[in-house]
Structure 1
Amino acid sequence: MHRWPQVIDVFLRKQMLCVGCQIRPFHTLDDACKEYQLEPKAFRAELAEAVKRREGLGPALPVDVADAP
């Protein structure tokens, strides 16, 4: 979230409490997906899209889904 703040919107849209959570540094994306019953691959893809869509830049940033935040 620090590196790609645009992903915060994805967490908020999913009504995830990860933004501002005190234990967030100790959880992985897979942990969060399990907690919120989300499919990890699809969630990572959504995060990758958010990174690519940086305001006004369009899909200019190449982000591999496996490397998504």
Structure 2
Amino acid sequence: MPHLDDPELMLSDVMTIWPQTIEVFLRHGMLCVGCLVNPFHTVADACTEYDLDEEEFRSELQCAVDGQG
């Protein structure tokens, strides 16, 4: 199974494998959910695009996966 911290994991895979992460994207006002580009962008790409701290954002994603928010 893929790991959330895999730098090559595409956003579409993140949201498909762990649908609970969608809330995190929406909370940040990110348009990644449903975007036609998300099969080609990584978490790092999205963080760059939205000027987010990647480490903090990945932590939020992991908390969602772990059921902690």
Structure 1 length as normaliser, TM-score?
Answer: 0.76
Tell me the C-alpha RMSD between the 2 structures: 0.9
Say which one has the larger Rg. 1
Q: Which amino acid aligns with 2:29?
A: Q
* Relative contact order higher in (CA < 8 Å, ≥ 6 apart): 2
* Alignment counterpart, residue 62 of structure 2, candidates 34, 40, 48: 48
> In structure 2, how many angstroms separate the alpha carbons of the residues matched to 1:23 and 1:29?
12
Count how many residue pairs are aligned between Structure 1 and Structure 2. Answer: 54
Alpha-carbon deviations, 1:6-61, whole Å to 9, x = none?
Answer: 000000000000000001011111000000000000000000000000xxxx6xxx
Gaps of 5+ in 1: 59-69
Structure 1 segments of 4+ aligned residues over 3 angstroms from their partners:
none
Identity fraction in percent: 57
